[in-house]
Amino acid sequence: MQSILCITIAAVIYLFIIQKRGTVTAFLMGYGFVIPFVVWMPYYLIRALDLRNMCLMISVATTPILVVFRCMEAMYGYSPPAVESKLLYYMVYYSSVIELEFDPKTTHPIQASHNDKLTMGKQFLGSYFLLSIFYSILEPYSYALFDSPIERDSHGQQLTVLDFIHPGHLANNFIVAYLTHTCLKVGTSGFGLAISALSGIKTMTVTNNPMFGCTSPSDFWGRRWNRLVHGVLKRGVFKPVRAYFPTFVALAVTFLASGLLHEYVLYVITLKNDNETSFSPMHGSHVAFFAWNGIIMLLEYATCYTKPIQWMKTNLPTPIVTLLVLLTVLPVAHWFTHEYMASGFYSQFRIGFPLIVRTTIHQ
């Protein structure tokens, strides 16, 4: 259903925004019709289909996010050039939740080879069984293996700087961050494999070993954590803002947009059905999390060519550099993961994974 809606929306955007780019009509169609419609769409679908599983609900929330930023990139002329070459290709671009790859020279979709599908299958199976092991270990401990001065529900808790850099807190946040990354990898590689198998078109690799391979904050967020969302944010927010304002302003606006989109996802997955009482999230922590990381990115932008930073890049082993990058994120990572944990999202995601469970035999 969502694919059909997205293909229809793609045709509307192509005919009334791309072909009329720069006109009042294009902006009215984008900001006045397309974006409000797709933002409202999950609310209707969740109610109409009576969805209650958060994994299904987050899938419903992902599509509007992609369409919103793809609509913005279309309005300002930053869509991938190949997809605008003809209406059919633009509709294909919108048809998949995992971005399809196009050849920039021929503008044709890239066909998925047997090796491409085999690689995606290995990635999916490897992540699937790794996640099963994680859940088997972490679930009995409520995803916190170490003592920490920061409670999971830390709203209103009096905290100091030392609490944020406590080894137990950092270790717990790393574990949940890696769990989140693995959930993302399982979901995106599984969808990507299915889409490539059915369509024959190659899909993008969404994640690229962010927790053990990153070499800078920009590398972590731009090329490793979630390349799908990074791409639409870059084309739909960063580039349009950068065309009129300095880079630091574009960075700040982009991270603010990222925080807002994650608040939107949190709102969607915690929608209550009629007469249902469930978890009510504390909104604002996701904006705070991405605001913090936006500040880190601005500091990197301001200092990346200084001698100390260049020395560290040249002389420190890559694992040490990666650790230093992670230490800019881990102290506040619970600002992002707590609401998902408290809502039960991780517990619902584990449905369908084989678990090793310790049992007690009573005599």
Closest CA to 235 of 254, 255, 208: 254
What is the rounded distance in angstroms from the CA atom of residue 258 to the CA atom of residue 115? 34
Asked whether the whole model's pTM tops 0.85, one would answer: yes
Within the chain, residue ranges assigned H as helices are 2-13, 24-29, 35-49, 54-76, 87-95, 114-138, 161-164, 167-199, 210-213, 217-219, 227-233, 239-242, 247-269, 285-303, 307-315, 318-326, 334-343, 345-349
Radius of gyration from C-alpha coordinates of the chain: 21
Q: Residues 6 or more apart from 150 whose CB is under 8 A from it? A: 157, 159, 163, 164, 166, 169, 334
Say if residues 7 and 91 touch (Cβ distance below 8 Å). yes
Q: Residues 6 or more apart from 183 whose CB is under 8 A from it? A: 131, 346, 349
How open is the CA angle 89-185-132, to the nearest 5 degrees? 145
What is the rounded distance in angstroms from the CA atom of residue 99 to the CA atom of residue 41? 20
Q: DSSP for 34-91, please give it.
A: IHHHHHHHHHHHHHHHT---HHHHHHHHHHHHHHHHHHHHHHHT-S-GGGGSSHHHHH
Say if residues 21 and 314 touch (Cβ distance below 8 Å). no
What is the pLDDT tens value at each position of the chain, 363 positions in all?
A: 677 888 999 999 999 999 999 999 999 999 999 999 999 988 888 888 888 888 888 888 888 889 999 999 999 999 988 888 889 989 989 888 888 898 888 888 899 999 999 999 999 999 999 999 999 999 888 888 999 888 765 555 678 888 899 999 999 999 999 999 999 999 999 999 999 998 899 999 999 999 999 999 999 999 999 999 999 999 999 999 999 999 999 999 999 999 999 999 988 888 765 445 466 778 899 999 999 999 999 999 889 889 988 898 889 999 999 999 999 999 999 999 998 888 888 988 888 888 887 766 555
Closest CA to 205 of 180, 220, 221, 184: 184
Say if residues 181 and 211 touch (Cβ distance below 8 Å). yes
Q: How many CB atoms lie within 10 A of CB 335?
A: 20
Q: Residues 6 or more apart from 231 whose CB is under 8 A from it? A: 99, 204
Q: Half-sphere exposure of residue 350, counting CA atoms within 13 Å on the CB side?
A: 20
